[in-house]
Amino acid sequence: MKHLLSIADLTPTSAMSILDTAQEMSRVSASSVKKLPTLRGRTIVNLFLEDSTRTRISFEAAAKRLSADVINFSAKGSSVSKGESLKDTAQTLQAMGADAVIIRHSASGAAQWLADSEWMSGSVINAGDGTHEHPTQALLDAFTIRKHLGGGTGDLRGLQVAIVGDILHSRVARSNVQLLTLLGAQVILVAPPTLLPVGVESWPVQISYDLDAVLPIVDAVMMLRVQLERMNDFFFPNPREYSHFFGLNRDRLRTLKSGAIIMHPGPMNRGLEITADCADSARSVIVEQVTNGVSVRMAVLYLLLAGLQEEEPSVNS
C-alpha cells in the first residue's frame, strides 16, 4: 500500500490491520513520553487547500509523534492564492523532498489525481476531497465504534450504525458506508430525500426518513454536519424544521438503546443537527473521536511510510 486515497482500495484484512496498529499506537498517545523515532528523517507535507481544524492538527500531531518533519501548507497565505496550479505546487513539494503529501481539496478526486500524476513520487494520503471521500475519518470512526461496542478487537459484525443528515454532500458518509459495511456492520442512512445522493439505492445500506424509528434500534448514531457552505439550493425549508425532524435532542436521546454511542465528525452546528446537551452527554464520544484520530493517523503513516515500498506490497507481511 503506497497511497491511502479511498476506502474502496482497502480489503477487510488491510482495514483490520490499520485498526490493530492504531490500537498499539493509542498506547503511545497515553504514555508519558509521546514520541517514537519511527519516521525520523521523513518529510510530510500537510497540503490543505480547504479549511480544516482537527484533521490538519491531528495529522500534524500524528506525524510529530512518529518524529517525522511536518511542513504545513494552506491555501491562504501561499502562492495558491495567487493562482498557482496544483501541478506547480506538487512539483515544488517534490523538489523539496516530501516523502508524503496529505491533501485536502475542495475538488472530488484531487487526491487520486495527485497520486496518478508523475509530478511527485511520494505517498499521497487523502484528507478529504470534495464530496468524495475522507478515509481517515471513517477509520477513526470504525476504531471508536470497535473500542466501545466491539471490545476493542475484531470486526463490527452484528452492529447497526445510523448516519444522519446531509448524506448528499458528505465525504465522511461515503467513506463510512464503505468501511463499516466492509467490516460487517449494517448502516442505516437517515436524511430528508433532498439530502440523499442520486443512486443511493445501489449503496449497501438501508434508508429511512424517520429518525425516531431508527434511534431505538441502532448501536451507534453518527450525526453529520449540515454543510451550510454547500447549501446553495433548497434542500430543506428552514433550519428549525430540519432540527425538528433530523436533529438529535434531549427527547430523542432518551429513546437510544442502552450502551449506544453518539458520534459527530465535527465541526458541530450546536442547536442545528445536535443540541448541546446531547453533544456533551455521557453517551457522546465526540471528543474521544479526536483522540482516536491521532492514533489512527499514526497507524496510517506508519504503514505507508515506515517500511520498504515494493512494487506490490501488502499491509500485512
Interface residue list for other proteins (CB under 8 A): 17, 20-21, 24-25, 27-28, 31-33, 35-38, 66, 302-304, 306-310, 313-317
Q: CA-to-CA distance for 297 and 235, rounded, in angstroms?
A: 34
Q: Which is nearer to other proteins, 28 or 207 (CB)?
A: 28
Choice between 53 and 153, CB closer to other proteins: 153
Between 158 and 313, name the residue whose CB sits nearer to other proteins: 313
In the complex, minimum distance from the CB of residue 192 to other proteins, in angstroms, rounded to a whole number = 43
In angstroms, what is the minimal distance from the CB of 311 to other proteins?
11
Separation between Cα atoms, residue 62 and residue 100, nearest integer Å: 13
Residue 62 Cβ vs other proteins, minimum distance, rounded to whole Å = 13
Residues 6+ apart with CB under 8 A from 34: 28, 65
Answer positive or negative: Cα dihedral of 162, 156, 55, 61: positive
Name the one residue in this structure whose C-alpha cell is 428549525. Answer: 240
**Helices (H), ranges, the chain:** 12-30, 54-65, 86-95, 110-116, 135-149, 171-182, 211-214, 239-246, 250-254, 276-279, 286-305
Beta strands in 159-238 (DSSP E): 160-164, 186-190, 206-208, 220-223
Smallest gap from residue 10 Cβ to other proteins (A) = 15
Which residue's CB is nearer to other proteins, number 53 or number 316?
A: 316
Q: Which is nearer to other proteins, 41 or 83 (by Cβ)?
A: 41
Smallest gap from Cβ 26 to other proteins, in A, equals: 11
**Least distance CB 28 / other proteins (angstroms):** 8
DSSP 248: B
Q: Which is nearer to other proteins, 162 or 305 (CB)?
A: 305
Q: Looking at beta carbons only, is 10 or 218 nearer to other proteins? A: 10
Least Cβ distance, residue 249 to other proteins (angstroms): 41
Tell me which residue of 80, 126, 122 sits closest to 102, measured CA to CA.
126
Nearest by Cα to 145 from 193, 196, 181 = 181
Q: Nearer to other proteins by C-beta: 251 or 312?
A: 312
Max distance between CA atoms of the chain, in angstroms, equals: 56
Nearer to other proteins (CB atom), residue 238 or residue 317? 317
* Smallest distance from other proteins to CB 147, Å: 15
Residue 123's SS3 state is strand
Contact by Cβ (8 Å): 221, 283? no
CB of 58 to other proteins, least distance (A): 19
Query: Quick one: CA torsion of 62, 64, 66, 71, rounded to 10 degrees?
Result: 100
Residues 6 or more apart in contact with residue 175 via CB below 8 angstroms:
6, 7, 133, 134, 135, 137, 138
3-state secondary structure of 148: helix
